[in-house]
């Protein structure tokens, strides 16, 4: 009996052997279904070539050229990725809108004898699903907001909470940004807004609605990525736990965790130059002089006192007003952070 691909629009988890994104690598990098692998039937350059032929010559000639390229790429995937797949292999396949690219692979695989399922509407169906879910899912949970001045080890505390089996939503990790002027990751760019939202939804869907979710106090924009409105509204009204530490301990913490700027003083000066509309030339020059003279402790302390701490206090007055607990840390040692996490977990359990 000749098999034919099945078509579905159901995005609930299914026991597929793999999820295959056949779009170009550039499309895949921008966003893709969680767990999907990229087996493009047209490369970035090939897709552009076929599109140019379609516009400048004719649809027929473009389809003919596209078919040749797709056949070549499918042959490569069959000889490599699919070479050792068992008889019961069953992938979910999708392209941009469930059109020719995904059908091309699905038809070939079904002729081999494998069951295949196509995502009806392709990536566009998934993207609609993500937007709809992000408008609803954040309301399923209660939240605890971890607040504190810059340098109070909030990210490290969240990581320890996660290790203690608390539910933690690491927005900075998902956005690949530490949420401030100097917060860009050292070696990699932020994900696209679409990928950020996909990863965020995937994280939320793993949580238990009967337990609170811990989040660091953020603005509605982390680097260049925006927090979805439903989640942002929930964050602003959630109870806050503020962590406090002396400025000397915060300076030491920041020097240890932002040392890539010390290794690249030119980049640091460029970043601080973005503050020229907010601070006098004299203030900026003072910071530049500290960098040139490698007065790192003086620089960090001044940045905290003149820029970060005032900005934080303004943000708290306007965005996070439901402050319920304060914890004063004697230092930011591993022991102190562990003791804090134990206290936070005890409070969480007491609150049910």
Residue length of the chain: 352
**Residue 263: pLDDT band with limits 50, 70, 90:** confident
Assigned domain for 1 exists: no
pLDDT at 315: 86
231 burial via Cβ count (<10 Å: 0-12, 13-18, 19+): buried
Q: Which domain holds residue 67?
A: 6-132
Q: State whether 85 and 173 are in the same domain.
A: no
- 5-18: pLDDT as tens digits: 999 999 988 899 99
Share of the chain above pLDDT 70, in %: 96
Tell whether 211 and 230 lie within a shared domain.
yes
Under DSSP, is residue 88 helix (H, G, I), strand (E, B) or coil?
coil
Residue 240's H or E segment, with its range, is strand 240-244
Residues 250 and 333 in one domain: yes
Residues 194 and 316 placed together within one structural domain of the fold: yes
Would 293 be classed as within a structural domain? yes
Cβ burial of 18 (10 Å; 0-12, 13-18, 19+) is middle
Q: 179 lies in a domain?
A: yes
Instruction: State which of 69, 97, 132 marks the end of a domain.
Output: 132
Model confidence band, residue 352 (pLDDT cutoffs 50, 70, 90) = low
* Structure tokens, 316: 């708290």
286 in a structural domain:
yes
Beta-carbon count within 10 A of 216 CB: 22
Per the model's pLDDT, the better-predicted residue between 1 and 221 turns out to be: 221
How far, in Å, CA of 291 to CA of 271, rounded?
A: 12
pLDDT of residue 188: 74
Instruction: Identify which of 99, 120, 127, 110 has the alpha carbon closest to the alpha carbon of residue 42.
Output: 99
Tokens of 15: 């026991």
95 plus 156 within the same structural domain:
no
Q: Is residue 243 part of a domain?
A: yes
**Of 183, 278, 261, 274, which Cα lies nearest the Cα of 224?**
183
What total of structural domains would you count in the chain?
2
Q: Is residue 240 part of a domain?
A: yes
CATH number for the domain spanning 284: value is 3.40.50
Q: Can you tell me the distance from the alpha carbon of 35 to that of 26, in angstroms, rounded to the nearest whole number? A: 17
The answer on 314 and 193 residing in a single domain is yes
Q: Do residues 118 and 162 share a domain?
A: no
Q: How many CA atoms lie within 13 A of 91 on its CB side?
A: 26
The CA distances from residue 314 to 9, 159, 309, 317, 321, in Å, are 46, 26, 9, 5, 11
CA nearest to 191, candidates 150, 215, 226, 148: 226
Query: Exposed/middle/buried for 31, CB within 10 Å: 0-12, 13-18, 19+?
Result: buried
44 and 25, same domain (yes or no)? yes
Could you give the CA distance from residue 159 to residue 139 in angstroms, rounded to a whole number? 24
- Whether the Cβ atoms of residue 121 and residue 49 lie closer than 8 Å to each other: no
Asked if residue 162 is part of any domain, the answer here is yes
Q: Are residues 206 and 119 in the same domain?
A: no
**How much is the pLDDT for 317?**
85
Query: What pLDDT score does 350 carry?
Result: 65
Domain final position from 132, 151, 180: 132
Choosing from 95, 147, 240, 290, which is the catalytic residue? 95
Predicted TM-score (pTM) of this structure: 0.89
pLDDT confidence band for 145 (50 / 70 / 90): very high
351, pLDDT greater than 70: no
* Block residue for tokens 């081999």: 112
Environment class of 339 (CB within 10 Å of its CB; exposed 0-12, middle 13-18, buried 19+): middle
Answer with the one of 109, 132, 155 that is the final residue of a domain: 132
Structural domain includes residue 257: yes
Tell me: do 98 and 162 sit in the same domain: no
Q: Is the pLDDT of residue 1 over 70?
A: no
- Averaged pLDDT for residues 239-246: 96
Residues 154 and 274 in one domain: yes
The pLDDT assigned to 300 comes to 95
Find how far residue 136's CA is from the centre of its chain.
19
pLDDT in tens, 287-329: 999 999 999 999 999 999 999 999 999 988 888 988 889 999 9
- Catalytic, 240? Answer no
Share of the chain above pLDDT 90, in %: 82
pLDDT tens digits, 51-103: 999 999 999 999 999 999 999 999 999 999 999 999 999 999 999 998 899 99
Instruction: Specify the pLDDT at position 187.
Output: 55
Q: How far apart are CA 334 and CA 327, in angstroms?
A: 15
Tell me the pLDDT of the chain averaged across its residues.
93
- SS3 at position 345: helix
Average pLDDT over residues 248-252: 96
240 and 98 together in one domain: no
Answer whether 146's CB lies under 8 Å from 171's CB: no
Contact present, 217 and 239 (Cβ < 8 Å): no
């Amino acid at each position: 009996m000749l098999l034919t691909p099945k078509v579905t629009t159901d995005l609930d988890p299914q026991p597929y052997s793999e999820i295959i994104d056949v779009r170009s690598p550039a499309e895949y990098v921008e966003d893709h279904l969680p767990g999907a692998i990229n087996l493009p039937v047209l490369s970035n350059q090939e897709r552009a070539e076929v599109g140019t032929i379609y516009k400048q010559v004719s649809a027929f000639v473009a389809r003919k050229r596209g078919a040749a390229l797709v056949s070549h790429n499918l042959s490569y995937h069959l000889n490599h990725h699919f070479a050792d797949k068992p008889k019961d292999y069953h992938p979910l396949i999708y392209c941009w809108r469930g059109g020719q690219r995904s059908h091309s692979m699905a038809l070939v695989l079904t002729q081999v004898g494998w069951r295949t399922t196509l995502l009806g509407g392709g990536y566009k169906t998934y993207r609609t699903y993500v937007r709809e879910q992000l408008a609803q899912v954040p309301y399923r949970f209660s939240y605890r907001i971890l607040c504190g001045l810059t340098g109070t080890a909030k990210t490290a505390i969240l990581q320890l909470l996660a290790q203690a089996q608390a539910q933690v939503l690491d927005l900075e990790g998902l956005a690949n940004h530490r949420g401030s002027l100097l917060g860009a990751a050292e070696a990699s760019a932020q994900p696209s807004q679409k990928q950020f939202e996909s990863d965020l939804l995937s994280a939320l869907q793993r949580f238990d609605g009967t337990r609170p979710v811990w989040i660091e106090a953020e603005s509605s924009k982390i680097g260049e990525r925006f927090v979805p409105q439903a989640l942002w509204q929930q964050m602003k009204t959630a109870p806050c736990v503020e962590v406090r530490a002396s400025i000397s301990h915060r300076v030491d913490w920041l020097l240890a965790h932002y040392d890539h700027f010390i290794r690249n003083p030119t980049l640091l000066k460029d970043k601080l130059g973005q503050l020229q509309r907010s601070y006098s030339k004299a203030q900026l020059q003072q910071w530049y002089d500290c960098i040139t003279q490698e007065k790192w402790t003086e620089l960090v302390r001044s940045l905290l006192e003149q820029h970060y701490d005032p900005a934080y206090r303004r943000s708290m007055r306007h965005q996070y007003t439901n402050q319920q607990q304060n914890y004063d840390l004697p230092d930011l040692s591993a022991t102190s952070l562990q003791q804090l996490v134990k206290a936070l977990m005890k409070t969480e359990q007491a609150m049910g």
